[in-house]
Amino acid sequence: MELTTVWFALIAVLWVGYFCLEGFDFGVGMLLPVLARDDTERRVMINTIGPVWDGNEVWVLVAGGATFAAFPEWYATLFSGFYLPLLMILVALIVRGLSFEYRHKREEASWKARWDAAIIWGSFVPALLWGVAFANIVAGVPIDADKEFTGSLLTLLNPFGLLGGLVTLTLFATHGALFVALKTDGDIRHRARDLAVRIGSVAAVLAVLFLVWTQVRTGTPTTAVVFAAASLALVGGLVAARAGREGWAFSGTFVTIALAVAGLFLALFPDVMPSTTDPAYSLTTTNAAATAYTLKVMTWVAVVFTPIVLGYQAWTYWVFRKRISVHHIPTPVLADATR
């Protein structure tokens, strides 16, 4: 197997990991005003992702770095053409990260409300725009002979792209609700599980429409099998949620996201960014790749460091595996008004 194909597959794996893990982070953030009835329950929800959200973001950083090193032409065209939506995602992630750090610094309700709004929007924007971006990458965008994107932001806001955004938005919300149900106890656990079934039903309809549309446009027999398996996994997850089996339900949405993203990369290969202007202008794993020496060095680096990173992240999830509830949240100590 050529190293260009190996690195295309590795980048696909990185995006699968990112969407499966960061996806439930986005879902928890978006559902903060929906599931939590008071500040204590909001703190419970935030604490479910508190130990892991920053580690989950590492996946997208590595995916971006790997794309830059392995396929520089793909990186250049993608990040210049999709500059505005990617900038919006970056700003949202920065503000969201600040929210987790600053929310607890003061006890005023107005202070917390502002940072809660930042968490909500900092989760909503990436959850929507990542779907828009990937739908357009798979469907193709206008690229000229110089490998430059010739469209605009409105080019990306087409029906197929917007449907992709709605799919990731609802699917991540379902994934996040199931994660809250899996990691909490008490009333919030039951509300999260019920909400996951309702949102998941909408996500299932949107996902089937999007995957069928993708299959018709760029699919292969292999992607048809993968997309069908993704749909079955989502249905199985919702059935498990309705039966109160949060672990199986969360596994169902996890597998759904993994298979759906893998299917999109399979539908894309051997292109990395198809051109709707002329197929001859499309970026492929061959004409967008770095030198063979660069790919060889990167492969050895990946062989050494990937097991270390995976081991550390698995250890983190194991350490923070227990459920939490409102009785685990300490009562804030208010300052003495007489001082």
pLDDT at 338 over 70: no
Q: Burial level of 280, CB count in 10 A (0-12/13-18/19+)?
A: exposed
pLDDT at 332: 62
- The string of pLDDT tens digits covering residues 112-123 is 999 999 999 999
Determine the average pLDDT of the residues in 222-251. 94
- Parallel, antiparallel, or unpaired for β 283-284 and 271-273? antiparallel
- The string of pLDDT tens digits covering residues 296-315 is 999 999 899 888 888 988 89
pLDDT at 26 over 80: yes
- Whether domain 3-326 has CATH 1.20.1630.10: the reply is yes
d(CA 231, CA 166): 16
pLDDT at 77: 92
Domain boundary assignment for the chain: 3-326
pLDDT at 197 over 80: yes
pLDDT at 339: 35
pLDDT at 138 over 90: yes
pLDDT at 146: 87
Determine the average pLDDT of the residues in 76-102. 92
- H or E element: which one contains 271? strand 271-273
- The string of pLDDT tens digits covering residues 54-76 is 889 889 999 999 999 999 999 99
pLDDT band at 333 (very low <50, low <70, confident <90, very high): low
pTM above 0.75, yes or no: yes
pLDDT at 169: 97
- Tokens standing for 39? 């500040």
Length of the chain: 339
The larger pLDDT score, comparing residue 105 to residue 180, is at: 180
Cβ within 8 Å of residue 320, ≥6 positions away: 51, 52
DSSP string covering 89-153 = HHHHHHHHHHHHHHGGG---HHHHHHHHHHHHHHHHHHHHHHHHHHHHHHH-B-B-TTS-B---H
Determine the average pLDDT of the residues in 258-281. 93
Contact 77, 149 (CB under 8 A): yes
d(CA 212, CA 305): 38
Percent of the chain with pLDDT over 90: 72
pLDDT at 167: 96
Determine the average pLDDT of the residues in 29-58. 90
pLDDT mean across residues, the chain:
91
pLDDT at 335: 43
